[in-house]
Structure 1
């Protein structure tokens, strides 16, 4: 069975060494036992778990949610689906918020372009308004 140093594991998983140590401290991945002589060794399973964490982060899951995902049994699809559905709701809400911001910015930019330098900048004016 192949073993990896922490730096090799970090490189393979696309994370930093300190990230692996942090994941160990918070219980996302187990800390390998320290041998009497030499360095801790990481297995292929450890690397798979690190890759799992990175993929879950790319999907928008935070570390607490990832910890829950890791604790679920592979066959527990209902709870996993509920977590993913909740994450989708969060992402959909953020997209709506960003679309609203984009619409507001487009309106402000258009008002600035039609201003022709006649008064203060409409963008600065809008940001400065008390509500």
Structure 2
């Protein structure tokens, strides 16, 4: 049985793309904030957390909602980019095409945050 180098590479590149564009806690929090902002902008009463966030910013909850909604939906943008790279990976015919996609995923993804930088103290 022959194993295609392209097929093996394709699986690795797709896994790399999925890893690089994985949703993290920050993405989830951002998406929740957008959902709350949409509710407040539509006239709903802001949650205590949303009202607190507005107070921290020194604006009304309604003003904060409009500011949040004026920004691009980062989670959707990130997912669209991931999906487009997965589709391109599956359509790639050569190792060179796959390596170009892999390099793009590595270059555009946010760098990993090391836990050492998140620790307090010396």
TM score, norm. by length of structure 2: 0.31
Bigger radius of gyration among the two: 1
TM score, norm. by length of structure 1: 0.30
Relative contact order (alpha carbons < 8 A, sep ≥ 6): 1 or 2 greater?
A: 2
